[in-house]
Structures are given as structure tokens and as C-alpha cells.
Chain A
Amino acid sequence: MIVGDLSRRELGKRLAGDGLALQLGPFNLTIRSNLDSFASLAHQLYEPYPLPDAEAISDFHVQISAPRGLRRWVRRQACFGVDGQFPFAPYTVEHAFPALEWGINWCVATRAHHLLLLHSAGVERNGRAILFPASPGHGKSTLCTALVHSGWRLLSDEFGVVRPEDGLLLPLPRLIPLKNESIEVIRKFRPEAIIGPSFLETRKGTVAHVQPPVNSIRRAQEPARPRWFVFPRWVADAPLTLEPIPKSQAFLMVATNAFNYEVLDEIAFRLVTEMVRSCDSYSLIYSDLDEAVSALDELSRTDDV
């Protein structure tokens, strides 16, 4: 069963009551909200996401709600909470949806230490995955969105989730947040992409969320073997370059960019070592999305011999 099987009314009822249960890759979430505006957006943007079984254990209990009492009417605010605690600065009610999305990131990054969490986008095709370790502002999300709308499966936009037992990547195919100019870039690149409303003047500028293709969401329980590390950088008017980089550099960039490399001690060291040893690493500089996508398609075909 998926979110889309619920009526808008039923969804609102669950959100306002005991919570809407949602499955996001390895994690089961329970979301609560007393905000109508949030319920409408959730119904629209979470539509293809599966609901876990009724008896399944929920991993995170989150909520995005207007506080009770006077403040609810005087200054319209939304607070993100986990397990009844509200440790963060409130948001305006208009930014409730992105606030919840960021909040879910926080839950994963601070709790999921049974897994190695790289800060990395990931896409997969033909059983092999490319990981794009993050550097803020270098266009990883835009590139990732372009790829998943060009035949690649989305593993994740933000978290490269590595299972310690076998080094496989676990998909976490969430909505992809695009910022500022990237929103228009993707609209032009793929007019058929499903993009949510733009939230203006958030702490990260203008943000909109892209719904990944249904296929990525349906296959969320299929892990993938990492095969390439690509460190992307968008540079205006730059000609495309895709160059191998030394493995030592790749190791350091992956390790320093992980969310919980230190926490996992020896396990992290071993996993990153194995990944870097078995993957080829490249630096990618591009200014044109089509060129970048072609180059990566080409790269993935080098294995098909």
C-alpha cells in the first residue's frame, strides 16, 4: 500500500492522530502534524511512498506542528519535534514542509550508527552504483536529479548508506531538495519532472523538492554495489573534464565527508578502504548537464564488456 492509496482526508486524520507511517528505504517513520497545509503537501509529494505493515516497528517519531496556545494564532510557527522533544528553532508555518525534511535528515544522521553514513549522492544502473561525495554548492543534487531522470535509479541524494556486513549501498530514495537556480535548470532539463512548490526565503534560499521517479521508490529495498566515486563540480562555462584522481585523495575526501566515520572506528576505516580499493575515482567538472549525463553514461558502459 502506498500513500496515494489514502484519501486526503484519511491522510490528514492520520497525521493529526496517531501519525502517518511511511517507509523510507531502511527506515520506518511515523509523522504527525496538525497543519493542514503540510497534510496537503504530504499527500502530493509523498504519494508513491510505501506504508509499512501495521505491526512494523517505527524507527523515528517526528512531528511538524504549530505550538499549542496563543502563539498558534499570533505568530504562525511550526516546530520540528522528535519523540516529544522540540530542540530546534521554530520555522514559519509556510516552511513546515522543508523543515520536516531537514528534520528527517537530522534523525538519520544522529541515530543510524549501525550503518556507515557517507555524505554523498548515489545512483545506480545495471547493478553498479556511482557515489558523488558532497561538497556544498557544487551541484551534486542537480546532477543527481538529472541522472535519475535519464535512466539511472536514485539511491539517495544526501546519504550514502553503507551496510557494514557486506559493504552494499542501501537506497534511501527521498525527495531531492533543489535550491535557487537549480530549480529552473531542472524544469528546463526535464519538464516532466514532478517538482513541489518553491519555498522562498528559507535559511537555504529558495528550496523545492523533486519527487524521484516511481521506479526508484519501488526498488528501495534493492541494495547496490558501489563501482565509481565521482567528485562533481559545476563551473560556469567550463568544458567537461572527467579525470581519474589518486585513491588516497578519494579516501580522504570520502572519510572527511562522512557523517559518522569517526563513530564507527575500525569498521569505517575498513569499509572506506575496501570501497576506494574496489572503485575507480574521478573528478568531474562540467557546465552543461546533458554533457555531464552523457559522460557518466559513457563511464558506466566501460564496464559492460
Chain B
Amino acid sequence: MTCYTARAETFILSPAGNSIQWQEWGDVHIVYQPSSAETHVFNETTALILKCLKQGSRSIQAVKDWTENALEVGQGDLATDDFVFATMRLEELGLIECLDDASAVQ
């Protein structure tokens, strides 16, 4: 599982991620990001990843476990590809960051 920047173990919510404004409409999450003036639409999985990280930095595996738990699916049932895609996307949007010394050096 890789971040854009490096093989990393831990994610954290970025300052941008910490200041987003949520509106939940059923299982559609519409989120406003003040730092970029963007409005995003997130599905349940992506929203849960953000909620998990709101509690503090987590290893990738821990985020996955927590998300699976919240979705009430079995351990390891959440498609890895979907999960990776969601985290890559969140990183690209600047809402989460890799917390890893390795990421500083290419």
C-alpha cells in the first residue's frame, strides 16, 4: 500500500482535512473544503476513512480495520483496490497526509 510520496505506514488528517464542513444526507456526504474552496461528494467508505483519522494518526491497516468495522463487513472484506483508491484520492485532495520520515526523501 503506497502513498504518492513514499512507501508509508501512517496517515494523518491534514490541516485542510481538519477544517472541512460536513453535511450528511443519508449516505451521501457533501463536504466543503475551505482551504481549496472545493465541494466534494464522498461515499460512505471515504467518509469513514476521514472520520477514523479525525481521532488521530493511524496506520493504514488500522484505518482499514476500523472502516470495515464501521461498515459492518468482515475483516478483510473491504476491497483493497477501493480502499487504496479512496486514500490516494484523499491525499491528492490534500485532506490526509502521509506521516512518515521516509516521505521526505525521494
Q: State yes or no: do A and B touch (Cβ within 8 Å).
A: yes
**B residues within 8 A CB of A252?**
30, 41
Contact between A251 and B37, CB atoms less than 8 A apart: no
B32 at the interface (CB under 8 A from A): yes
* A247 and chain B: residue at smallest CB distance: B25
**B residues within 8 A CB of A265?**
34, 37
15 chain-A/chain-B pairs, Cβ below 8 angstroms = A247-B26, A248-B26, A248-B30, A251-B25, A251-B30, A252-B41, A261-B39, A262-B37, A265-B34, A265-B37, A266-B34, A269-B21, A269-B32, A273-B23, A273-B30
A246 at the interface (CB under 8 A from B): yes
Bound together, the chains give a CA A262 to CA B40 distance in angstroms of: 12
B1 at the interface (CB under 8 A from A): no
Interchain nearest-CB distance for A143 vs B (Å): 26
Interchain nearest-CB distance for B46 vs A (Å): 15
A255 at the interface (CB under 8 A from B): yes
**A residues within 8 A CB of B37?**
262, 265
**A residues within 8 A CB of B28?**
246, 248
**B residues within 8 A CB of A262?**
37
Given contacts A251-B30, A269-B21, A269-B32, 17 further A-B contacts (CB under 8 A): A246-B25, A246-B26, A246-B28, A247-B26, A248-B25, A248-B26, A251-B25, A255-B39, A261-B39, A262-B37, A265-B34, A265-B37, A266-B21, A266-B32, A266-B34, A273-B23, A273-B30
Bound together, the chains give a CA A251 to CA B30 distance in angstroms of: 9
* B25 and chain A: residue at smallest CB distance: A248
* A250 and chain B: residue at smallest CB distance: B25
Q: Enumerate the 4 nearest inter-chain pairs by beta-carbon distance, A residue then B residue, closest first.
A: A248-B25, A248-B28, A269-B32, A265-B37
* B30 and chain A: residue at smallest CB distance: A251
Bound together, the chains give a CA A246 to CA B24 distance in angstroms of: 12
Bound together, the chains give a CA A247 to CA B30 distance in angstroms of: 11
Interchain nearest-CB distance for A254 vs B (Å): 11
Bound together, the chains give a CA A273 to CA B28 distance in angstroms of: 13
Interchain nearest-CB distance for B15 vs A (Å): 16
* B24 and chain A: residue at smallest CB distance: A248
Write out, one digit per residue, whether chain A residues 247-274 have a CB within 8 A of any chain B CB (1) or not (0): 1100110010000011001100100010
Bound together, the chains give a CA A251 to CA B32 distance in angstroms of: 13
